[in-house]
Amino acid sequence: MKRNACLIPLYVWTAVFVLFPLAIVVYFAFTRDTGNGVALSFESFTRLSDPMYLGVILKSFKIAIISTLICIFVGYPVAYILARSKSKMKLVIVILMLLPMWMNFLLRTYSWLSILENTGLVNTLLAAVGLPKIRFLYNEGAVILGTVYNYLPFMIMPIYITLLKLDESHLEAAADLGANPVQAFLRVTLPFSVPGILSGVSMVFVPSVTTFVISQLMGGGKVPLIGDVIEQQYRVVNDWHFGSALSVVIMVIVLVFMYFINRGDVESNNGNGGRLLR
């Protein structure tokens, strides 16, 4: 009983800051302003059937999936090296990695513009040594770069923390039983770190699929993602009904995605870790 009472603030918080706003979004999604009052309508969803919007949703997922994969392949080795390292500098390195996060997200993305633009740092250096300039910005690659850069720490940290918990004796046991280091990694370390990877994936994938700032700045408005279309409905064209309908669709897709992620998480925790790889 007493424990339940302690949870009341949590319930109130969730109701006020999660459920209530969500209800408003759903309300807007299924209504239309008819001129004299608001009426139930599926107009926003019929408009969504235009293949153009499906295209944007697919592109958003494509960019988010690529970014998440890059984050795994870059983030895992970093987390692994950090976790295994006995260096006294370990804490310093972790702090250095998180340091840019203390600076505003927009500022960090704007700095990439000054580094990569045609008259920016990299191209000026290239030109100085007689190499041709490269157009880095305003394409899908730039959007992926911006996404990876901004969300990479969210991949590294959960993997790092999981790997810290891995007891060295497991690896010694694997070696005793005849596993070479590669086998030990694939059979012991990697399965053990799956929960870390999965939580990293959900922390990177969900914000990347809905981002609009990165695609606007790094993509120059030429790589519109679903987040941009939603933002435009709210901010520029003042069609909150359509914007809400788009948000609801994205939320449902992301929820389904998260469901599978969590199921994978539960499985890898319940069974013996190696199941995924056998």
Joined together, the tokens standing for residue 259 give: 């469901």
- From 107, 92, 49, 38, select the one nearest 249 (Cα to Cα): 49
CA-based torsion, 48, 54, 56, 57: positive or negative: positive
CB of 172 to other proteins, least distance (A): 52
* Residue with smaller CB distance to other proteins, 221 or 271: 221
CB of 222 to other proteins, least distance (A): 5
* Residue with smaller CB distance to other proteins, 106 or 277: 106
* Residue with smaller CB distance to other proteins, 138 or 192: 138
Q: How far is CA 104 from CA 100, 214, 251, in A?
A: 8, 13, 26
Determine which residue in the list 100, 141, 207, 220 makes contact with other proteins, applying CB under 8 A: 220
- List all residues 6 or more positions away from 88 whose beta carbon is below 8 Å from its beta carbon: none
Query: Of all helices (H) and strands (E), which one includes residue 142?
Result: helix 140-164
CB of 230 to other proteins, least distance (A): 11
Segment interacting with other proteins (CB under 8 A) among 9-17, 60-68, 98-106, 217-225? 217-225
CB of 50 to other proteins, least distance (A): 8
Segment interacting with other proteins (CB under 8 A) among 73-81, 101-109, 146-154, 238-246? 238-246
Beta strands in the chain (DSSP E): 31-33, 38-40
Q: How far apart are CA 276 and CA 259, in angstroms?
A: 17
- Asked if 245 and 50 count as a contact pair (C-beta separation under 8 A), the reply is no
* Residue with smaller CB distance to other proteins, 43 or 170: 43
> How many residues form the binding site for other proteins (CB under 8 A)?
30
Determine which residue in the list 4, 49, 119, 169 makes contact with other proteins, applying CB under 8 A: 119
Q: How far apart are CA 217 and CA 24, in angstroms?
A: 29
Q: State the residues that interact with other proteins by CB under 8 A.
A: 52-53, 55-56, 59, 117-119, 135, 137-138, 140, 219-224, 228-229, 232-240, 242
